[in-house]
Amino acid sequence: MAEGWLRHRYGDRFEVHSAGTEATEVRPLAIRAMREVGVDISGQQSKTLERYLSEPWDYVITVCDQANQACPVFPGGRHRLHWSLPDPSEATGTEEDQLLVYRAVRDDLRRRIDDLVAASSEGTRS
């Protein structure tokens, strides 16, 4: 969801990639939650971190505690951030209950990303 929002809002300004500690699938409820805000992530693919370890990164951001603990060091990462968010794929209950968790995580990611981009833009102005 974070990759989708970054590409949607800021893809003309940033090169964006996402990966996990293991490759799974782009969850249907994530696709649905993002579609609600006009972002199509149905074409995204789940990838593992290994392919990105040697790349230079301005930011490496982990978005759940498990990923933060399992995430290796990115030697080329200038800034490492951790956003402790619930993993929506672990939500339980009815489909609507689970979708509420996806929406909450989506909205939290959106706010954090927009705030980070705004702060980084202010820091580059002279």
Q: Domains in the chain, please, with CATH?
A: 2-121 (3.40.50.2300)
For 44-106, give the secondary structure using H, E and C.
CCCCEHHHHCCCCEEEEEECCHHHHHHCCCCCCEEEEEECCCCCHHHCCCCHHHHHHHHHHHH
Q: Is 12 helix (H, G, I), strand (E, B) or coil?
A: coil
Which of 46-50, 59-63, 116-120 has the highest average model confidence (pLDDT)? 116-120
Mean pLDDT score, 2-11: 94
pLDDT tens string 60-78: 888 877 665 666 677 777 8
The CA distance from 120 to 87, in Å, is 26
For residue 19, name the pLDDT band (cuts at 50, 70, 90). confident
Residue 125 has pLDDT above 50, yes or no: no
Using DSSP's 3-state secondary structure scheme, residue 19 falls into coil
Instruction: Write down the mean pLDDT value for the chain.
Output: 87
Q: What is the mean pLDDT of residues 52-60?
A: 85
pTM score, two decimals?
A: 0.86
- Classify residue 20 by its DSSP letter: B
Token pair for 103: 């929406």
The answer to whether 52 and 73 are in contact (CB under 8 A) is no
